[in-house]
Amino acid sequence: MAVTLLEGGHHVTIIAEHFPGDYSIHYTSPWAGAIWRTHATADQAEQCQWDMASYEKWMDIVSNDPGLAERMGIEASHLSTVDAKATPETELDTSSSSLWFIPHVRGFSAIPSNDLPFGCKSGYVYDSIAISPPKYLQYLITQATALGARTCRARLSPREGFAKAIEAVLKHFSGPNVIPNDGNVSKPIVINCTGLGARELCHDSDVYPIRGQTVLVRIRPSPAPASSSIILHEDPSIAPLATYIVPRPGTDTFVLGGTKIPNDWSSEPDSAISAAIIERCKSVWPALKDAEIEILSEQVGLRPGRQGGVRLEVEEVDAGGGVVVSVIHQYGHAGAGYQNSIGSARKALGLVEGIMAV
């Protein structure tokens, strides 16, 4: 969000409790699988637009500026999705509303039935993006500060309500060296990107955690690069468990997942869940079956879900003393934070410019 605003010519101060390099159960981004894989359906037009904005930008970078892609920690990767739904059909239903993206992605094709893992009915593959979260997050904060962003590490307390939190934010703007005094700065606009924290901060009971647990592994012998694709195994019968394999760009490691457990706040990894994840991944990726799997870490992240979907709208907040602040709420992206990021930020930028034009 900050980089999009800065590239649009706006002054930005980032106020956050956690920054890239930090690790906390309350800071979801470092734990993400972080691939491009849309969760939208055809009837969710805006979500589809957001996802495609990220896809097109990242694909353009990996195709035309490999040096920048390496610094960002992104790389092109084949994404294979295989479907274990117990239906009699063996042909891929390309008319499904969940496959709206077919004309918009590169290299889409159905997987021949004889190449499907045992028990799978259909599958498809296309060119996607894999992201290394620690590297990508560090790139973003470095880019933001290079473009002039100020940063402030602080925690906004929800105890006295959202208006008081906004009042606390405004105090940061009144200090020295926060916003350049160049005569071109109007009243501050606050963008609320607090994710799961919005549940308390905004008293938004629609916000809830979706617990994800993954395992970071190294595989011996290391799979050939051509076989190191993103693999997703769709099987609704095991929900809220999930099965996926994601290569970490620039390393010889893989993320194996996972879980999508709603309303579960537990922060400690469960060793039994990790063992089950590995077994499920073995069943869909032959490279794992006879390999030595070195577990490097087990991790848990809480995705910021929201009933009704993303909240991206303007609210005028009375911060006291006759001060009314325009707040743009931008949270509730659940497990789609990375692929939504470019398009969602562009919409928020449009809202900022609309406020400033009044």
pLDDT digits over 263-295, tens only? 999 999 999 999 999 999 999 888 888 899 999
| pLDDT score recorded for residue 225 | 67
Determine whether the annotation assigns residue 155 to a binding site.
Answer: no
pLDDT higher than 50, residue 178: no
Of 160 and 302, the one with more pLDDT: 302
Determine whether the annotation assigns residue 29 to a binding site.
Answer: yes
Determine whether the annotation assigns residue 243 to a binding site.
Answer: no
What's the whole-model pTM score? 0.92
Of 342 and 163, the one with more pLDDT: 342
pLDDT higher than 60, residue 183: no
Of 357 and 186, the one with more pLDDT: 357
Q: What is the pLDDT confidence band of residue 259, given thresholds at 50, 70 and 90? A: very high
- Report the alpha-carbon distance of residue 216 to residue 278 in Å, rounded: 10
pLDDT digits over 206-221, tens only? 999 999 999 999 999 8
* Percent over 90 (pLDDT), the chain: 72
pLDDT higher than 50, residue 299: yes
| pLDDT score recorded for residue 92 | 84
pLDDT higher than 90, residue 186: no
Determine whether the annotation assigns residue 335 to a binding site.
Answer: yes
Determine whether the annotation assigns residue 308 to a binding site.
Answer: no
| pLDDT score recorded for residue 177 | 39
| pLDDT score recorded for residue 89 | 55
Q: How far is CA 320 from CA 15, 166, 167, in A?
A: 20, 10, 8
Rounded to the nearest 5°, which phi and psi values hold at 341?
A: -60, -45
pLDDT higher than 80, residue 347: yes
pLDDT higher than 80, residue 254: yes
**Sequence-ordered list of residues with C-beta below 8 angstroms from that of 206, at least 6 positions apart, any chain:** 306, 307, 308, 332
pLDDT higher than 80, residue 172: no
Transcribe 263-316 into DSSP letters: T----S--HHHHHHHHHHHHHH-HHHHTSEEEEEEEEEEEEEEETTS-EEEEEE
| pLDDT score recorded for residue 203 | 93
pLDDT higher than 80, residue 87: no
Q: What is the pLDDT confidence band of residue 328, given thresholds at 50, 70 and 90? A: very high
Determine whether the annotation assigns residue 28 to a binding site.
Answer: yes
Is the CATH code 3.30.9.10 the one for domain 1-358? yes
How confident is the prediction for the chain on average, in pLDDT? 90
Of 162 and 225, the one with more pLDDT: 162
| pLDDT score recorded for residue 227 | 63
The alpha carbon of residue 78 and the mean position of all alpha carbons in its chain are separated, in whole angstroms, by 19
